[in-house]
Structure 1
Amino acid sequence: MSSLPTPIPIPKPNTSRTCIKGASFSNSQCRLCLLPRQRKLVSLSIGIGCRLSSSVFDARSSLEQPEVVEETFMEWDSRNPAISSMYRCPKIPRPNQIVLEAQAKVCTGPEQTRPLTEEQAVKVLDTILKSARGELKDDEVSKAQLGAFFAAMTIRANTFPETTQWSEGERHAINLFWPQLVQVLPPDVIFIADPEGTIMGIGNFPRYTGQSMTEMRLVGALREVLAGGHLGYEEVKGVLRDVLPLGGNELQEVNESLLAAFLIGQRMNRETARELKAYCLAFDDELGPPPIADVRSLTHYGEPYDGNSRFFKSTLFVAAVRACYGESCILHGVEWMPPKGGVTEGQLLKFVGANTHLSPMQAKTLLEDEDVGFAYVSQREAHPQLHSLIGLREHIKKRPPLATSEKVQQFVRTLGKEAIVAGFYHDGYEDSLLMLMRRREVHAGLVVKGEEGSLSMTTKPRSVNASKGVPVNHCAGFRLLGRSNDSSTDGFSRTNFSIDVNAQDYGFEPTDTPRTDRSVRKSVELGLAALSGQKGPAYDRIILNAGMVDHLLGCEGAEDVQAALERAREAIDSGEALNRLRNFIKISHKVK
């Protein structure tokens, strides 16, 4: 075990401390990860790998006068690194970078796609040809990459506007390489590249049907997707449950090329409400009904699972603040997720020594604990089948529909008031997320365009050079008013709202958001300093995000914005928010 080179600044409590001694963690916990180029689940050994140093945590400590001191906070195993990219599972094969760069250009929407030049297309197709011939043993183009790339090319040829269809250079390159590629590519990839035999002209397999019953269903749905069409709710749900069966059963024998083509194709076609609803609800029963927490209010936080790569994110620390006055919060996510591979709540909690392998039932216990009041659940525990797709998602490069639907999950429920808050970045997904929240029948829903698409609103003024579209700090949502007899609705009456939050209107000084640049350590330092009462940009952002969410969700005692902000400020300045974070770390290892 080795210590970090420099200590983390944390507040020094004025009372005696109770230490956790003898804490031990399993270094052989089995996790699942679908690896491209393989057709079954592979068991990975991932351990927590940290131990607490002496005199660290005290569940009863207080901060009468916040003070930041230098102190060794933890001793860390190398498996708890300080940079987000190092949380990537090393067992996942790296994608071929030449093809991946091309996927970044073409595996996207009708307006965002950037056609390849002839030189770029030749380089990509030559790489694919060499890989298919077995000449790139250490840098293969995976089947998932082949499926995603050729699905994008097919959809562009079939349905995209002229400006984002194939360029002349791409057409020339295809004409040059296809006669050779068709000799070495497997039938499933040839099918994806030309499902009806109308694009390439030679050597096609338009009657390809798949090699199993599961593949046959997937191929049938994929034909519609590759033609630019959409599927019904039951059809999408059926395909997903075929490929990723519930109950811990092994993944079905399907080619990664077909699944990758299906996922990226649905995103490129812009998922309908029915399709997104299927992705959102298909795995609700994976572990049975969610546990019911005995709390009066519960907010589900849906951060983008791929995290932040540039700026400080406040959500973990906001949850500790809101828990102080009875607004229980449940966070969910993963340790590492492509394409961004940024800092996540899972990394932050693991870095400070918390147990991030909690089941939903254990999360329920932490939510009900009067000294904690918030919890974190990893997708690894809550939706293991979806978690098994991380490797495949890296190889398709762009975000699939799951990147939207996974933000609107309820791994724990309550009989009290429930709300969902989700972050977004790209225009067009605001309404989709709110639709999914209404489908969840929560009392309130809120979408936030925070920095990097996260939930973190900023105190930085909007630049005059900001891009067009929805500005950062845009919020929209609804609050439930009651039941409705209107047959044109879903049976509920709601009030809707939309606002662009200007922090200066509420007394905050304009400040730039602290840069963290993938540093988990820096993010932790900023958050701990803020919760210790150290004034500055991170402190302001935590208060802004806690108070504004309370107000917009219609939480009790937050009808007035300034009162909501002052309540959040008091939770920090009293030391209670920091104590709750300490308590979470401590109790997360003891909860049964």
Structure 2
Amino acid sequence: MSEQQLFSATEAQEVMRSVIQRIATGPTLSKDIEQEEARIGMRAILEGVVDPVQATVFLIALRMKRETDDENRGILSGIQDLTNRVVADVDEVVDIADPFNGYNRTLPIAPFLAPLLAELGVPAFSQGLETVTPKFGFTHRQILREAGVNVDLSVEEAAAQLSDPAKGWAYLDQSQSSPLLHKLVPLRNQLIKRTVITTAETLTHPIKGREKSHLMTGYVHKPYARIYAMLVRHAGFDSALLVRGVEGGVTSSLRQSSTTYQFVGDQEEVAVEVNPEELDIQHDLRAPAIPVGVEGNLEISKRAAESGIATLQGEEGISMDALMLSATLVLQHLGRCESLERGAEEVRDVLSSGRAAGRL
């Protein structure tokens, strides 16, 4: 975490006052701000040196006028300045960032992607928090907790698990990686609508590999592919796998073809079409469905945990296909398989063996 004080409380308040005067003047008169101003504004909010009302106006006004690339980069930098960050004792790390506001229409299997990748020889961790606006859905934290996983590891403890040959994966909660950001959850819930924080919080990059770090995240709306690609580079990742996934997550549709965008280093993003049928996946549903009659985040999280454990133990079905598809995309992106078809065969063999369940 950065201990450097960039500004005094008085200076921060002056910057925030100037920024609000420019960004909150209506649909035609609002003006953009510079990257450093956005960074100072975000840090001032996180460090509590500006009034919550001003924090609210800052976030909503940016959203209403639409954030620029410089503003997005500045917001992310402000958050990263105050994020606990470590280097794991492994060469490469895959950072899995599903939406922190969770799912509410399908039964997610993505919380169990990290242990599967670990069994495939790829150290990985997922991030999240309990739940947050705008969806207040069921999340990795809720589901993995029901599966008996420790969801309150420090950043150092999570990194240590990645280097443990018997484990190789972890869940990292925002309360541990970015505690000041996590304290804004009640304010964000009062705002109701999505803000720039929803985009930036998945890119904090708390755990790096010794040599390379890769981000896997999802999106729904096409314009966000470019925005995420831009921010991934700014955050310091070496590559990214951007999945147009179900509910904005990292699980591609099992019913129809979808597009992922991938890049390494400074290379341009490459669109990769994913056709489930070519991987012997055929379903009428996009993703595993919530069982009929099961309601509430707790009960649904329990069912998702049961399904995830059973899948890692080798139970075939739609959940296995969904998890297999996500893992195959990672192997292909990292160059660990000759083709998606060969990667799918390798992943299915591991799942069918049940070995990945031992990672839990």
**TM-score, scaled to structure 2:** 0.89
Give 1:431 shift: 0.4
Counterpart-to-counterpart distance in 1, 2:251 and 2:92: 21
1:279 lines up with 2:75 in the alignment: yes
Give 1:495 shift: 4.9
Counterpart-to-counterpart distance in 1, 2:269 and 2:131: 34
Which of 530, 533, 537 matches 2:311? 530
1:575 lines up with 2:354 in the alignment: yes
Matched residue, 1:372: 167
The one-letter code sitting in structure 2 at the alignment partner of 1:269 is K
SS of the residue corresponding to residue 330 of structure 1 reads strand
Q: Structure 1, residues 494-520: CA drift from partner, whole Å, max 9, x if none?
A: 253113322012211224122226411
Which of 412, 431, 435 matches 2:226? 431
How many percent of aligned residue pairs carry the same amino acid?
Answer: 26
Does the aligned pair in 2 maintain the 1:479–1:554 contact within 8 Å? no
Matched residue, 1:242: 44
Give 1:346 shift: 0.7
Matches of residues 164-203 of structure 1 in structure 2 within 5 Å? Answer: none
Specify whether residues 221 and 374 from structure 1 end up closer, same or farther in structure 2 by C-alpha distance, changes over 3 A only: same
The one-letter code sitting in structure 2 at the alignment partner of 1:452 is E
Counterpart-to-counterpart distance in 1, 2:13 and 2:220: 34
Q: Structure 1, residues 325-377: CA drift from partner, whole Å, max 9, x if none?
A: 21111211101111101111111122222221111110111000101111111
SS of the residue corresponding to residue 334 of structure 2 reads coil
Counterpart-to-counterpart distance in 2, 1:440 and 1:393: 23
Which of 253, 260, 285 matches 2:56? 260
Specify whether residues 380 and 509 from structure 1 end up closer, same or farther in structure 2 by C-alpha distance, changes over 3 A only: same
Q: Structure 1, residues 47-99: CA drift from partner, whole Å, max 9, x if none?
A: xxxxxxxxxxxxxxxxxxxxxxxxxxxxxxxxxxxxxxxxxxxxxxxxxxxxx
Of 420-429 and 536-545, more deviation after overlay is shown by 420-429
The one-letter code sitting in structure 2 at the alignment partner of 1:314 is I
Does the aligned pair in 1 maintain the 2:316–2:352 contact within 8 Å? no
Counterpart-to-counterpart distance in 2, 1:252 and 1:357: 28
Counterpart-to-counterpart distance in 2, 1:305 and 1:436: 17
Matches of residues 445-484 of structure 1 in structure 2 within 5 Å? Answer: 445-461=240-256, 473-480=258-265
Counterpart-to-counterpart distance in 2, 1:286 and 1:429: 25
Matched residue, 2:201: 406
Does the aligned pair in 2 maintain the 1:420–1:437 contact within 8 Å? yes
Matched residue, 2:177: 382
Does the aligned pair in 2 maintain the 1:302–1:409 contact within 8 Å? no
Unaligned runs of 5+ in 1: 1-210, 246-250, 463-472, 481-491, 582-592
Matched residue, 1:222: 20
Matched residue, 2:335: 555
Does the aligned pair in 1 maintain the 2:213–2:238 contact within 8 Å? yes
Counterpart-to-counterpart distance in 2, 1:264 and 1:426: 20
Counterpart-to-counterpart distance in 1, 2:83 and 2:268: 34
Does the aligned pair in 2 maintain the 1:504–1:510 contact within 8 Å? no
SS of the residue corresponding to residue 385 of structure 1 reads helix
Does the aligned pair in 1 maintain the 2:217–2:250 contact within 8 Å? yes
Does the aligned pair in 1 maintain the 2:107–2:304 contact within 8 Å? yes
Does the aligned pair in 1 maintain the 2:205–2:237 contact within 8 Å? no
1:502 lines up with 2:282 in the alignment: no
Larger proportion of helix: 2
Give 1:212 shift: 6.3
Does the aligned pair in 2 maintain the 1:332–1:379 contact within 8 Å? yes
Give 1:214 shift: 4.2
Of 212-221 and 313-322, more deviation after overlay is shown by 212-221
SS of the residue corresponding to residue 41 of structure 2 reads helix
Counterpart-to-counterpart distance in 1, 2:83 and 2:15: 25
Counterpart-to-counterpart distance in 2, 1:455 and 1:271: 24
Counterpart-to-counterpart distance in 2, 1:427 and 1:509: 25
Q: How many residues of Structure 1 are paired with residues of Structure 2 in the alignment?
A: 340
Specify whether residues 308 and 287 from structure 1 end up closer, same or farther in structure 2 by C-alpha distance, changes over 3 A only: closer
Matched residue, 1:319: 114
Counterpart-to-counterpart distance in 1, 2:248 and 2:127: 16
Counterpart-to-counterpart distance in 2, 1:253 and 1:224: 17
**TM-score, scaled to structure 1:** 0.55
Does the aligned pair in 2 maintain the 1:314–1:541 contact within 8 Å? yes
Give 1:444 shift: 1.7
Matched residue, 2:3: none
Counterpart-to-counterpart distance in 2, 1:343 and 1:237: 30
Specify whether residues 236 and 495 from structure 1 end up closer, same or farther in structure 2 by C-alpha distance, changes over 3 A only: closer
Does the aligned pair in 2 maintain the 1:408–1:422 contact within 8 Å? no
Counterpart-to-counterpart distance in 2, 1:443 and 1:329: 15
Matched residue, 1:514: 288
SS of the residue corresponding to residue 252 of structure 1 reads coil
Q: Structure 1, residues 106-126: CA drift from partner, whole Å, max 9, x if none?
A: xxxxxxxxxxxxxxxxxxxxx
Give 1:311 shift: 0.6
